[in-house]
């Protein structure tokens, strides 16, 4: 009797198995580093997940704690969660993206230093070049539009207060050249 039940289960399995969709282990996740930010001392990482053949979600985070000589700095902490739409398929070829950008900064390269925060939207476009099965090189650029509030100071150490500003700004943003590991 038990052997007969086993035969039935095997027969049903043989009939149903071809009807079951085959799951492929595609490239569904990635982890990357923006080498352009890394070159100026910003520690950064970007995690992503594919939700379909053409849509991926990305969460880049960047932090720069460094003060250079003469009180020059690009200090910041920034979070940019967003979505990308891929022309061909996820993690390869051309893409367009939209990110929510949240940042706190303390930057000064020229005469003034800006200390403040901002939140807005970044629209970007880019291209991912497959280097191998697991490695990509990715270039991306975009524009930020959003609210920014900051105080201005002379860049020198303990520089004089020069005023403040708050409002909506539009400027180039999300400039990256990234090395990506796709899983």
pLDDT tens digits, one per residue of 28-67? 999 999 999 999 999 999 999 999 999 999 999 999 999 9
C-alpha dihedral, 51 to 53 to 54 to 58, nearest 10°: 40
pLDDT value at 23 more than 70: no
Determine the Cα–Cα distance for residues 75 and 72; give it in Å rounded to an integer: 9
Q: Which residue has the higher pLDDT, 55 or 173?
A: 55
Q: Per the domain annotation, does 9 fall within a domain? A: no
Assess if residue 8 is contained within a domain.
Answer: no
Overall number of domains in the chain: 1
Q: Is 43 part of any domain?
A: yes
Burial of residue 82, with CB atoms counted within 10 A of its CB: 0-12 exposed, 13-18 middle, 19 or more buried: buried
Q: Among 31, 36, 62, which residue's Cα sits nearest to residue 139?
A: 36
pLDDT digits (tens, 9 = 90+) for 59-94: 999 999 999 999 999 999 999 999 999 999 999 999
Tell me the pLDDT band of 21, cut-offs 50, 70 and 90.
Answer: very low
Domain assignment present for 64 = yes
Identify the burial level of 111 via C-beta atoms within 10 angstroms of its C-beta, where 0-12 means exposed, 13-18 middle and 19 or more buried: exposed
Does residue 35 lie in a domain region? yes
Q: Which domain holds residue 89?
A: 25-182
**Strands 29-34 vs 135-154: parallel, antiparallel or unpaired:** unpaired
63, part of any domain: yes
pLDDT in tens, 37-47: 999 999 999 99
**pLDDT score of 58:** 97
Whether residue 40 lies inside any domain: the answer is yes
Q: What's the pLDDT tens digit per position in 100-157?
A: 999 999 999 999 999 999 999 999 999 999 999 999 999 999 999 999 999 999 998 8
Q: Is 15 exposed, middle or buried (0-12, 13-18, 19+ CB in 10 A)?
A: exposed
20, part of any domain? no
Domain at 173, CATH number: 2.40.160
């Amino acid at each position: 009797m038990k052997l007969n039940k086993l035969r039935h289960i095997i027969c049903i399995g043989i009939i149903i198995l071809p009807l079951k969709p085959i799951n492929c282990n595609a490239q569904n996740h990635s982890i990357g580093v923006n080498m352009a930010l890394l070159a100026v001392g910003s520690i950064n990482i970007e995690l992503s997940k594919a939700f379909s053949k053409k849509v991926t979600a990305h969460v880049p985070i960047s932090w720069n704690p460094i003060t250079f000589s003469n009180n020059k700095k690009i200090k910041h902490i920034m979070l940019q969660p967003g979505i990308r739409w891929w022309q061909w398929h996820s993690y390869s070829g051309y893409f367009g993206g939209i990110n929510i950008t949240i940042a706190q900064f303390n930057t000064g390269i020229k005469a003034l230093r800006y200390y403040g925060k901002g939140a807005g939207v970044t629209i970007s476009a880019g291209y991912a070049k497959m280097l191998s099965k697991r490695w990509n090189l990715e270039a991306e650029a975009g524009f930020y539009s959003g609210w920014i509030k900051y105080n201005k100071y002379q860049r020198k150490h303990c520089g004089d207060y020069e005023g403040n500003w708050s409002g909506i700004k539009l400027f180039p943003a999300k400039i990256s050249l990234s090395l990506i590991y796709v899983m």
